[in-house]
Structure 1
């Protein structure tokens, strides 16, 4: 029969080694883990959706930008060319396709700069003195610049001061077997002609007037400042330099020789890549984009097999707008107005198929019309070209108040909400853990007190038993 002491020990669990810290931790985990797992799973799915939407938008940008870059290249637009580069050479400028070609050009006059030179003097060198005083240099209608020289100033000092004046006029000392001469040269263009005035007799040899040399000037004019004069399709135009960038958009014209009454034809060479190649590349790139969207929105047998954007209306809208490209008018008139007219058809999954026989037939019937349809030399709202159409679709899909932007905002807001839910759960579990710790700490205190009472009672019982014996 069990003693009274052993029964009390058994009831109090004395010596059971209960780890109240582990018990509290387990209770908190049991309350927190299921809720945390639900929130975390939603976070993972939401993050995947945000990433997939960003990827879809980025892929659309990549497709549109690549198409623009492709069509702006010389492979599809040709290379600007001159039939007489010795008179005028041409090259394409970045940013667009030269417009208005072919054109007829005549170079009536090249741009030139005012160049002055003194007579060669064997008694002059860089260290020779030039005299004291002030030379005033004036370019066109600009602000006069004073060049102050002292009694110790040399020809080298004069050259350095002119070059440092910031007027665009350069000076140099040229020495050959005849001696040394001072040469001054301005920028090309009539407006860049220059003059020099002297305030002392010592510097009079360096004075020069635009209308001619001063009485005591040592300078001779080697060339006169003048503008380039061209006739472009019969219209006279003047330029300060022999490099013309503004006469024809996106075309640089280098004037190399004046040849009045000699027409030069500026034109564009034939594209090295055909519109057929363009259509093949377009369909392939379009199908790559559409297949990626199909994968993201795929329906699975269960949630684990479905695409992360399954059921997302913004992607359905993107696919819808892309699919409408085949029927969108690229030209308001003509036999061939849409991509469908050129043999492009839409499959059930949204991808495209190109009927190359139909395209070849259209190209053979009117190649110029097909080129202008897909890559017009002058784009407009009614004739945007393939790249322009793609830009319109992209702008519509990515507009600020559109479905795609709305979906991105929705998932970003959900991401913030889920983070807040996790923080709230963490705070709740921290409070719950504190409450449990308080409860079990109090229990341990009471158990300790009971244990002391048990020990005392055990001693009394043992004493009673011994006295009975």
Structure 2
């Protein structure tokens, strides 16, 4: 009997092609399910983008429904070369005259010129912060809370190494070495401005004389002990300013809270005017930022729900009732209004016009004019009607809608969970159908293998009969 080498060889049928086509028919439901699953995943992705856009819109609406953002103030200086100003929380709107009589400065002393490589002399330097008084010699009052710092100087230390030791000592002063044609000098200055941040430097000189100008004592400065080996080239002093003719003294050149919430950074002496008023630019930016976020959301919803007649293509959420309802709710809030806004009842009253696509365009001239009535704008956007929530300010309603639809039980969360559940169900069904298809293919191969065997036997028998018949015919 003939041996079957491959399926179909016994019967002569194109078995592999037959099986392939039969299995393909069996697997068609799998292909259909996978296509529907891909569509569901596209819808889930679209809802993810919509949720993100809703969150961005919610954040922008929050800025328009937060009282502090409507109370923001701005300050201007009549001469920014003389002083710059910043208005903070609590600033009072108004105009202030400012007269700068004296700037705050740090004390600075400089040594005599010497070689940069020569040792300065061994001993101990003591640096102490405090305030210099008047008189001859001047008095020195140690700064409260500060402690004198001792610095050990070796016989091999130069100006540069002394500088480094001073700067690493946390003594409240900074040192540098300045070199010119005459030699190198040690310059020591207060780390902070103000009279209380003056300093004196005393020395315990290894040569036994702490008051001469040689050895380490050449770097001493203590007029209270009649020692001035170093020369003072700038005295520690406070800033002295008059604000509305009231004397203000500050250890720094930044005058903080002399007027509530107002910061004045003085740069030079002279007179100027500081004006504090409502920060209309920041309010306008919050409004236009919201328009951008809102339009982005509306465009996203429109693109995902529309049907393009030209391309014959439908958006991922075309016909989806949840997405269509979200569009409707947004349009209703935006086209609605509130009686709380005084002279402004609707967005169009302040130059925010709603187009046919549901997006907002800004009439800059009209909006700028409306900013002259900030209190009315504030109420239109963030007012709360305790008796009728539908009459709340528009930003308040926008924010409430965004909180609702993106919440744990919100429309977007619920719809996304429903779509994901269908994806999970489809995937489970695909696994079941895949197993069934594999079993079906296995049965087909077994059946066609059995057919091949039978056909091979029949072919062998037919061949045998033919031979016998031929032999009989030949004998006759």
Shorter-chain-normalised TM-score: which range? 0.5 to 0.7
Q: Identify which of 311, 316, 319 aligns with 2:328.
A: 319
Secondary structure of 2:175's match?
Answer: strand
Aligned 8 A contact 2:340 2:393 in 1: no
Does the Cα contact within 8 Å between 1:198 and 1:207 map onto a contact in 2?
A: yes
Aligned residue number for residue 48 of structure 1: 42
Q: C-alpha distance in 1, partners of 2:245/2:430?
A: 76
Say if 2:107 and 2:190, in contact at 8 Å, map to a contact too.
Answer: yes
Work out the CA distance in 2 between the residues paired with 1:381 and 1:237. 41
Residue 102 of structure 1, CA deviation: 3.7
2:164 paired with 1:160? yes
Q: Aligned in 2, Cα 1:273/1:131: closer, same or farther, shift over 3 Å?
A: closer
- For 1:385-405, what per-residue CA distance to the aligned partner results, in whole angstroms no more than 9, with x for missing partners? 987875565444433432123
The correspondence for 1:36, drawn from 24, 30, 34, is 30
**Shift of residue 320 of structure 1?**
0.5
SS of structure 1 residue aligned to 2:40: helix
Distance change (3 Å), C-alpha of 1:59 and 1:171 = same
- Superposed counterparts of 1:328-339, under 5 Å: 328-329=337-338, 332=340, 334-339=342-347
Counterparts in 2 of 1:50 and 1:219: CA distance versus 1, 3 Å: same
The answer to whether the aligner puts 1:437 opposite 2:445 as a matched pair is yes
- Which of 130, 146, 153 aligns to 1:149? It is 153
2:304 corresponds in structure 1 to: 296
For residues 235 and 404 of structure 1, what CA distance do their matches in structure 2 show?
A: 60
Hey, what's the Cα distance between the residues in 1 that align with 2:438 and 2:146? 78
Answer yes or no: is 1:408 the counterpart of 2:402: no
Structure number with higher relative contact order (C-alpha < 8 Å, ≥ 6 residues apart): 2
**Aligned with residue 126 of structure 1, among 109, 113, 116:** 116
What's the secondary structure of 1:129's corresponding residue?
Answer: coil
Query: Per-residue deviation at 1:32?
Result: 0.2
1:249 and 1:434 map into 2 onto residues whose CA distance is 87
Alignment partner of 1:187 is 2:191: yes
Structure 2 residue 85 is matched with structure 1 residue 90: yes
Say which SS state the counterpart of residue 158 (structure 1) adopts.
helix
Task: Give the SS at the match of 1:22.
Answer: helix
- In structure 1, the residue matched to 2:135 is none
1:256 alignment partner in structure 2: 267
CA RMSD of aligned residues (A): 5.2
Task: Please list the CA deviations of residues 246-282 of structure 1 after superposition, one character each: whole Å capped at 9, or x if unmatched.
Answer: 88999864311355xx56323469979997x999998
Residues 201-253 of structure 1 deviation map (CA, whole Å, 9 limit, x = unaligned): 454443557xx655545234444445556666789877664356888999864
What SS does the corresponding residue of 1:265 show, helix, strand or coil? Answer: strand
**1:172 maps to what in 2?**
176
In structure 2, do the counterparts of structure 1 residues 177 and 15 end up closer, same or farther at CA, with 3 Å as the change threshold? closer
CA distance in structure 1 between the partners assigned to 2:27 and 2:413 by the alignment: 35
1:42-70: CA deviation from partner (whole Å, max 9, x where unpaired) = 12322332233234345556667789999
CA–CA distance in 1 between the matches of 2:429 and 2:247? 74
User: 1:184 Cα deviation (Å)?
Assistant: 0.9
Change over 3 Å in CA distance of 1:283–1:222 after alignment to 2: closer
Query: Which position in structure 2 is the counterpart of 1:206?
Result: 219
TM-score for both structures, normalised by structure 1: 0.68
Q: Secondary structure at the match of 1:266?
A: strand
**Aligned equivalents of 2:128, 2:423: Cα separation in 1:** 68
The answer to whether 1:110 aligns with 2:103 is yes
Distance in 2, matches of 1:254 and 1:59, equals 41
- Note if 1:24 corresponds to 2:19: yes
Q: Which runs of 5+ in 2 are unaligned?
A: 1-7, 65-71, 130-142, 207-214, 386-391
Q: Cα deviation per residue 1:158-199 (whole Å; 9 max; x = unaligned)?
A: 123334456674322234566543211232244755565645
Q: Do 1:78 and 1:269's aligned partners in 2 also have CA atoms closer than 8 Å? A: yes
Q: Which residue of 2 aligns with 1:4?
A: none
- Matched residues in 2 for 1:343 and 1:156: separation? 67
Match of 2:389 in 1: none
More deviation, 281-290/192-201: 281-290
**Deviation of residue 82 (structure 1)?**
0.7
In the TM superposition, residue 27 of structure 1 has moved relative to its aligned partner by 1.6
TM-score (norm 2): 0.67
DSSP-derived class of the 1:218 partner: coil
Residues 87 and 19 of structure 1: is their aligned pair in 2 closer, same or farther, counting only changes over 3 Å? same
Compare 192-201 and 83-92 and name the one that shifted more: 192-201
- Quick one: distance in 2 between partners of 1:287 and 1:263? 44
Mapped to 2, the partners of 1:339 and 1:160 lie a distance apart of 65
